[in-house]
Structure 1
Amino acid sequence: MVSGFKPTWMVTNIYDLTPAQLKANGIKAVLTDLDNTLIAWNNPDGTPELRHWLTLLELAGIQVIVVSNNSRKRVDRAVAPFDLPYIHRALKPLTWGLKRALRRWHLQKSEVVMVGDQLLTDIWAANHSRIRSVLVRPILKSDAWITKGNRLLEKGVMWELRRRYPELTWQEDLNERTTH
């Protein structure tokens, strides 16, 4: 059961994913969680670093699509300045939102990666959609109230993952080693 939470990669920060690394892994689109992955949950305006990263991916022809459990209003407010497409109310850990993104943008599972900061939602949904996944550290150590319970459960899941898979470590990029 714990293997359903095992990410393909663990990278410290979403901004560490470079176009060259993504292309080397056949990735044409990044599906990404919103809160504490792409932006701080309490700062919907993003950062200059986010704008730079999005520009690099756009120039490389790599699409970024937000797949969030948040409401349309919340996601629209957060992604509007960046003109990013999105799926709201994705219902992660269910696979519905990821599959909807694949259909809407005519993507193959092999062409995408799901990036998120939560094992129990983002990584589980990716694994059960048969999509490669990247676990990133949350941008902030604090969370919205709705996420705090998940974080407690995740500590136990991560402990068990590391016990079973000692090779599962934080990386600075998508090097050739994967954890699957």
Structure 2
Amino acid sequence: MSKLLPDLYVNTIFDIDLIALRNRGIDSIIVDIDNTLVAWETEYASKEIIDWFKKIKELGFKCCIISNNTKDRVVKFNKSLEVYAIHRAVKPRKKPFLKAIKFMNTTPDKTVVIGDQIFTDILGGNRLGAYTILVVPISKKEFFWTRIVRKLEKRILKKIEKVN
């Protein structure tokens, strides 16, 4: 059960205190796209997302996008961000997370994984030994399978809310 619990739960990526992360010794960010950065099926990063990526780069963070989505989707989305990116990751497998760690020349204990799904992003990050942040999904529109998994996630979220 502990592998399913995030270290932090926030409404959006904009609620993450980047200075606090840096003060924890975090130097690298792994982040999901769909329903974490933008609504599912949104093709391009918004100005706010582009600005957030500029800010994390200015603060000295390295960054890698990890998505279970297609190469075309990830490449198109990453065009304006220009960070490392991994497509068809099959999260929560460790392999894409380890690949991201290698790209960024860092270690799991210096990495944060940010995403909207417990069974992919948070489980994958926790299996890696990274700091994990769960964000509230941006949109209700999602892939069919994700809607089913969300029902299980609701049970876990109730436990998180009791702790907080």
Residue 77 of structure 1: CA displacement? Answer: 1.0
TM-score for both structures, normalised by structure 2: 0.92
**How many residues in Structure 1 have an aligned counterpart in Structure 2?**
164
What are the residue-to-residue correspondences of 1:88-167 with 2, within 5 Å? Answer: 88-159=87-158, 161-162=159-160, 166-167=162-163
Residue 144 of structure 1: CA displacement? Answer: 2.6
**Gapped runs of 5+ residues in structure 1?**
170-180
Are the equivalent residues in 2 in contact too, given 1:32–1:65 (CA < 8 A)?
Answer: yes
SS in 2 for 1:31: strand
AA aligned opposite 1:80: K
Are the equivalent residues in 1 in contact too, given 2:63–2:104 (CA < 8 A)?
Answer: no
Residue 136 of structure 1: CA displacement? Answer: 0.5
**Deviation string, structure 1 residues 118-158 (Cα, Å, up to 9, x no partner):** 01111111111111100001111221334211112211232
SS in 2 for 1:166: helix
Could you tell me how far apart the structure 2 residues matched to 1:28 and 1:118 are?
A: 22
Could you tell me how far apart the structure 1 residues matched to 2:43 and 2:146 are?
A: 17
Could you tell me how far apart the structure 1 residues matched to 2:37 and 2:135 are?
A: 10
Partner residue in 1 for 2:23 = 24
Could you tell me how far apart the structure 2 residues matched to 1:143 and 1:14 are?
A: 19
Percent of aligned pairs with the same residue? 29
Partner residue in 2 for 1:41 = 40
1:71 and 2:67 correspond: no
**Deviation string, structure 1 residues 88-141 (Cα, Å, up to 9, x no partner):** 121112111111111222111111100000011111111111111000011112
Could you tell me how far apart the structure 2 residues matched to 1:24 and 1:166 are?
A: 27
Alpha carbon RMSD of aligned pairs, Å? Answer: 1.6
Residue 9 of structure 1: CA displacement? Answer: 0.7
TM-score for both structures, normalised by structure 1: 0.84
Could you tell me how far apart the structure 1 residues matched to 2:28 and 2:127 are?
A: 18
Could you tell me how far apart the structure 2 residues matched to 1:122 and 1:137 are?
A: 12
Could you tell me how far apart the structure 1 residues matched to 2:112 and 2:33 are?
A: 14
Are the equivalent residues in 2 in contact too, given 1:40–1:46 (CA < 8 A)?
Answer: no
**Deviation string, structure 1 residues 6-34 (Cα, Å, up to 9, x no partner):** 10111111122243122112111110011
Could you tell me how far apart the structure 1 residues matched to 2:132 and 2:97 are?
A: 12
